[in-house]
Amino acid sequence: MHPGRGVDVFQSVRPTQVRVVCFDTEWTLYPDSAYDWLGLLAADLEQLTGILPGGVCADQCEDMLRVALSHDDRDDRWTYAARVALGRAGGRDWWWVRNLARRCIQGWPYINGRLLLAGVNAKTLGFPEWLDAAYMLLWSAQEGKDQVLFDLELNRMPAGVAVRRDFSQIQAMGEAFAAD
């Protein structure tokens, strides 16, 4: 048997059901369509409270409330876990997903209308696929320099967020610094 057979890369990068660990418990999030995800994101684009605790499956709500009362740092924990969940749901870096979603929510009638005309329905499509379509719509509507600026805008991380780098990246940065 081929060693790679049975391994679905898309399933690991873009799972159909998003799960995230917070307060040492695994939480399952209920949204399954792009429309649900956008609705939860629109509730709070900064702290992402719509996603966590707002997006937790109904049968885990009471457990979530219980832990919310027993931890003083619950808001920070929720935000960090919601970022992880958003990254998993969108299949990209969480800030890229959030930036694109923000852009789409701001121009919802136009963007959703154009996508619906092209047969892309947020209510029936998964979040990553819908984001792909929305990205291509916005990207292809611009030219040359504007496309680069658009990509830069999507990749811009929020202030105060640190990038995790593995050891080889840190080593490469050190070598590059030494070479200068």
Q: Which is nearer to another protein, 20 or 133 (by Cβ)?
A: 20
Minimum CB distance to another protein, residue 31 (Å): 14
Amino acid at 22: C
Tally Cβ neighbours within 10 Å of residue 17.
12
Q: Does residue 31 bind another protein (CB under 8 A)?
A: no
CB of 138 to another protein, least distance (A): 30
Nearest to residue 78, comparing CAs of 65, 93, 92, 90?
A: 65
Stretch that binds another protein, among 13-21, 44-52, 87-95, 113-121 (CB under 8 A): 44-52
Q: Are 46 and 11 in contact (CB under 8 A)?
A: no
Place of tokens 């684009």: 45
Residue 47 makes contact with another protein by CB under 8 A: yes
What's the Cα-to-Cα distance from 51 to each of 55, 87, 149, 168, 169, rounded to whole Å? 5, 12, 28, 33, 31
Shortest distance in whole angstroms from residue 86 CB to another protein: 15
Task: Tell which positions 67-106 bind another protein, by CB under 8 A.
Answer: 68-69, 72, 74-75, 78
CB closer to another protein out of 30 and 103? 30
Helices and strands (DSSP H and E) totals, the chain: 9, 2
Candidates 20, 41, 64, 97: give the one binding another protein (CB under 8 A).
64
Binding segment for another protein (CB under 8 A), chosen from 4-12, 53-61, 139-147, 156-164, is 53-61
In whole angstroms, how close is the CB of 110 to another protein at the nearest point?
29
Report the nearest approach of another protein to the CB of residue 32 (Å).
Answer: 17
- Give the span between the Cα atoms of 59 and 65, in whole angstroms: 12
Q: What 3 state SS string does 7-24 have?
A: CCHHHHHCCCCCEEEECC
Q: Which residues bind another protein (CB under 8 A)?
A: 44, 47, 49-50, 52-54, 56, 58, 61-62, 64-65, 68-69, 72, 74-75, 78
